[in-house]
Each structure stands twice: as structure tokens, then as C-alpha cells.
Amino acid sequence: MRLRLVLAALAGALAFSQPASTQVTNDDVGGIRTETQERLRAGSQTTAALNWLGVLGLLGLLGLRKGHDEDSYHPSDIE
């Protein structure tokens, strides 16, 4: 019983504690920016195009749905 109480208190303390601080980066160190820093400074021009390409890909997945129970291309009532 006491172990459960301690574990519950520990879980509650972890839930309300501060997250780890982010790594502080200095852009001036070395004078060379990384590719990610360059992309963030320049702004992303291809983001919208890639988002629409992803939407088209997800819409293409709709073609994989099962249409009907029969395996034939044209379902017929004659059998």
C-alpha cells in the first residue's frame, strides 16, 4: 500500500515538473550555420507543395478499400 502511494506521488511530481531545458545554440560559433539553420532563415518554399503531395497520396489510399464481397470484376446475379 505504501509503495503504491509513493509511486503515485512520484508519478504526480513527474507529471507537473518542468521539462528539460532545450539546448542553447549560439549561431555565431564557428561562423558556419547548419543546413537546418539555413532553411529556417531562408523560409521554406516547398512546404505547401509537399503538403499537397501528401494529401494526394492519402487520397490515393482510398482506392485500396474493398468495394464489394465478390472477387469478380463485374458482380452479377447469374450463377
Tell whether the model's pLDDT for residue 35 goes beyond 90.
no
Identify the pLDDT of residue 56: 93
What pTM did the predictor assign? 0.35
Q: Are 68 and 75 in contact (CB under 8 A)?
A: yes
- 68 pLDDT band (50/70/90 cuts)? low
Identify the pLDDT of residue 78: 67
Cα distance between residue 7 and residue 62, in whole Å: 46
Identify the pLDDT of residue 74: 66
Q: Can you list the alpha helix ranges (DSSP code H) found in the chain?
A: 2-16, 35-42, 47-60
DSSP, collapsed to helix, strand or coil, labels residue 71 as: coil
Rounded average pLDDT over 18-47: 72
